[in-house]
Amino acid sequence: MVAKSNTFWKRPGTYPGWWAVGLAALFVVMIILNATIFMRLSENTPLQLTLLPFYGIIMMLCGLAAGVIALIAILRNHERSWLVWLTLIPGVFTLLIILGEFLVPH
């Protein structure tokens, strides 16, 4: 009987898997920068009025793209790496934020 190799603890083996991991890492870095630097600015700075709306949109798109690409890598390419499974979290997080914006008016 041959022992089957456990691919869960290995690194991603497909290009979509690596793309999902990279986009999720970019999303985490962007969210940390947003919380530590941009949210501490005063409300009247030109940087906050011009740059932050685009920064927020790009940040959310990175998180959503990471989740979608991870789902594609898991379903279509049969990727089983724990890193790719972990990248589903930013996708779900972003999806919940977007749904909350549409479902709960403020």
The distance of Cα 6 from the centroid of its chain, to the nearest Å, equals 25
Residue 62 lies in a domain: yes
pLDDT of residue 5: 63
Residue 52 lies in a domain: yes
Mean pLDDT over residues 84-93, rounded?
94
Number of domains in the chain: 1
Residue 10 lies in a domain: no
Residue 80 lies in a domain: yes
Looking at per-residue pLDDT, the higher value among 84 and 44 belongs to: 84
Nearest residue to 11 via CA among 71, 85, 67: 85
The alpha carbon torsion through 50, 89, 7, 14 (nearest 10 deg) reads: -30
Residue 56 lies in a domain: yes
Domain that holds residue 52: 16-33+46-103
pLDDT of residue 4: 53
Model confidence over 6-64: pLDDT tens digits? 778 888 989 999 999 999 999 999 999 999 988 887 777 777 778 888 999 999 999 99
Residue 39 lies in a domain: no
pLDDT of residue 97: 92
CA angle 34, 39, 42 (to 5 degrees): 145
Cβ partners under 8 Å of residue 90, min gap 6? 24, 27, 28, 62, 63, 66, 67
Residue 57 lies in a domain: yes
Residue 74 lies in a domain: yes
Mean pLDDT over residues 85-102, rounded?
93
